[in-house]
Structure formats: C-alpha cells, structure tokens
Homo-oligomer: A and B are copies of this chain.
C-alpha cells in the first residue's frame, strides 16, 4: 500500500458502513457516489458546475480517454486533473467494460484484447499491463485492474473461465502496477504519485464462483476491492443477493466498490449490504433524456401535465435547479431542445444522488440507518412518481 492511501471505518450499523478514504487529491467520505465523467467531462456540466455540487470523487473512463485525446497527450499536459481543471480525486476504470460493450472486431486472448476503435477503426489493444500504464499516465487517484466482464446471461462454465482469466490478469496487473509505481517501467511517468489500484471480483451470479474470485483477488492484494459483473441486465433481487454474499467476504478494513450501480433505491439497498462506493451513468444519462429523480420517484419532465406547473421538480429539493426553476420552464427547455435542459436536469439528478448519500452517511453515523431505509422506501417509488407530482 502507498502512503497516500488510507481507509478508516468509522461507524457500522448492521452491514452499513461509514468510512473515510484518503487519496492523493483529497478525502472521500463513504458511502460515496461517483458522478461519471466519461471523456474527462461530466456530460452536460462545466467543471465549475460539478465543483458546486461538491462530489468528493468523480470517475473517468480509460477506454474513451485512451482513444481521444490519448493518455500520452493527457500525461504530457500534466495528467487528467490538470487537463480537466479538477483537483479532487478521480477514479479511472480499466477500460475492460467499454472494450466489451463498444469496440468492434474484438479478439480476446490470454494476452489481452485487440480491437478497433469505435471512433475511427484504428487497431488498438488493451492488456493488464497497458491498462496500468494508461491509468498511470492519466494520473487518477484510483486505478482499476483490467478484468473481463462476461455478458449476461452466461453459463456457469463461461463465467468460470472468465473469472479465472480475470484472476490471472489481476496478478499481472498488480505486478505491473507495482513496477510502474517503483519507476521500473520505461516510458511511463505517473502524474499522481501514490495512485491506488483496486482489484475486481467477478463470477457472475454464482456464489461459489464469487467465493473463489474473492479469495484469489484478495490473495493478490489490492488497496481495495470492487464487485464487477453486476448491473448488466440481471434482476434486481439477484444483484442484491450477489452483493450481500460477496461483500460479506471482502476484507472489513478496505473499501468495497460496486461498479456501475444503480438507481437511488439500489444505493440504499447495497449500502445496507456493506457497499462503500458507487458509480452510475443513470443520474446524468436520464437527465439528458428528461427524467428527474425526486424524493417520491422519477418524473418525466416532457409529460404534458407539467406544461403549466409552477412547482419545482422536487418541492423538497435544495438544488440550484429546484431553487430557481419550475417544471413548466424545464419542460419548455426540454421540448425546445435547449442544451440548458440537460445541464439543469443533470444538476438536479446529481444533487439528488449526492444528497441521498449524505443522508445515508448521517443515518449510519447516528445508528438509525434502518429507520432511514424504511422511510426512503415508504416515500420513493422506483417506477414513476408522475402521478404523485403535486
């Protein structure tokens, strides 16, 4: 472990955990939600607007930044923090998920993945080693190890093959990470000394595969562990089951990160199962599609019922959008195709996610997480709150 990385577990309430993660660029209070800034920008927002929302950490995508503008360019300009103008923590994913979901003409081997850029067809490759090097050049606070995320549904045989390869890649990735950190790899200069590396547990929906993945990944040894391969189409109760089973086996005194989840009620339920960190595109992507998360559930702002509605999207919300604008105005902007609709909706949704995490942290601190959880579900409808919106 590097000197710049530490995690202190401060409170526990049932399985829910309240912690503090120290990274080279600052402190992350957990449980934490990481807004997604795929290409070095949270879609729809300027960095000033992101900063005003006050997230402790954001996520950026290795695959996208490797393709454009390129990690060498970003590294030469001082790393991703300086490039974006963002001086707080950043987590970069490994590129694995995108290479499987976006790239074309993919060829897998034990070595890694050869693929064509989805932008211009350029031949590229990613491996456990190159994913380490790219993330070192980007200079994120947290790098993710290169893994293989199987499609859902998969057979247990496919999931096992993939999980075992991920374990072998974990060993290679960790070894290379330590060499890069020790300055033993030519041509790779990290812009963030003290970068941490998280391992990723795979194994699909099979408890026995998850068990072996946890044991193998922890045996390699990382600063923390993520649960991958969920939020890929499986039913919600299946996801909750795998999360509960897997989180319980992970080391108590290291953070646990559930990759790619989820809806607001998923955050509450997975905190209840021992998760400390989350990322998800839903608050930002759905904002651009006109879906606003409120304390009662999501509303679709294009709905004609809002055309003359003078209320803010969520009357109980303190975000800049709700403090200033009505549903009628936001509907007008959305229907007219104004870019500011995306910005205002994104500000609201991220505020709601970050505010929910803050409420979760406070509830755990005061030992009343179960009360909070019950209250949240009594008010929040996962499907739609359009019919309730008065």
Given A68-B335, A83-B328, A339-B342, also A76-B308 (CB < 8 A): yes
A39 at the interface (CB under 8 A from B): yes
Asked if residues A41 and B338 are in contact (CB atoms below 8 Å), the reply is yes
Residue of B with least CB distance to A338:
B41
Asked if residues B308 and A73 are in contact (CB atoms below 8 Å), the reply is yes
- In this complex, the member of A44, A47, A48 whose beta carbon has the largest number of chain B beta carbons within 10 angstroms is A48
Q: In whole angstroms, what is the CA distance A39 to B49 when docked?
A: 23
Q: Looking at the assembled complex, report how far the CB atom of A216 sits from the nearest CB atom of chain B, in whole angstroms.
A: 37
Asked if residues A340 and B69 are in contact (CB atoms below 8 Å), the reply is no
A168 at the interface (CB under 8 A from B): no
Q: In whole angstroms, what is the CA distance A76 to B333 when docked?
A: 18
Asked if residues A307 and B340 are in contact (CB atoms below 8 Å), the reply is no
Q: In whole angstroms, what is the CA distance A85 to B343 when docked?
A: 15
A241 at the interface (CB under 8 A from B): no
Asked if residues A329 and B73 are in contact (CB atoms below 8 Å), the reply is no
Residue of B with least CB distance to A73:
B308
Residues of B within 8 A of A85 (CB): 324-325, 329
Asked if residues A329 and B46 are in contact (CB atoms below 8 Å), the reply is no
Residue of B with least CB distance to A288:
B339
Q: How many residues of A contact B (CB 8 A)?
A: 41
Residues of B within 8 A of A69 (CB): 307, 328, 331-332, 335
Residues of B within 8 A of A83 (CB): 326, 328-329, 332
A45 at the interface (CB under 8 A from B): yes
Give the copy number: 2
Residues of B within 8 A of A308 (CB): 73, 76-77
Q: In whole angstroms, what is the CA distance A310 to B39 when docked?
A: 18
Asked if residues A339 and B343 are in contact (CB atoms below 8 Å), the reply is yes
A336 at the interface (CB under 8 A from B): yes
A116 at the interface (CB under 8 A from B): no
Asked if residues B339 and A84 are in contact (CB atoms below 8 Å), the reply is no
A40 at the interface (CB under 8 A from B): yes
Residue of B with least CB distance to A65:
B332
A285 at the interface (CB under 8 A from B): no
Asked if residues A46 and B344 are in contact (CB atoms below 8 Å), the reply is yes
Residues of B within 8 A of A183 (CB): none
A171 at the interface (CB under 8 A from B): no
Residues of B within 8 A of A46 (CB): 49, 320, 340, 343-344, 347
- Choose one: B49, B324, B326; the contact of A47 (CB below 8 Å): B324
Residues of B within 8 A of A42 (CB): 340
Interface string of A302-329 (1 = CB under 8 A from B): 0000011010000000001000111011
Chain A residues engaging chain B, CB cutoff 8 angstroms: 39-49, 68-69, 73, 76-78, 83-85, 307-308, 310, 320, 324-326, 328-329, 331-333, 335-336, 338-340, 342-344, 347
Q: 20 A-B Cβ contacts within 8 A?
A: A40-B329, A40-B332, A41-B338, A41-B340, A43-B338, A43-B340, A44-B340, A45-B343, A47-B324, A68-B336, A69-B307, A73-B328, A77-B308, A77-B326, A78-B310, A83-B328, A83-B329, A85-B329, A339-B339, A343-B343
**Would you list the 3 A-B pairs with minimal beta carbon distance, nearest first?**
A85-B324, A69-B332, A41-B338
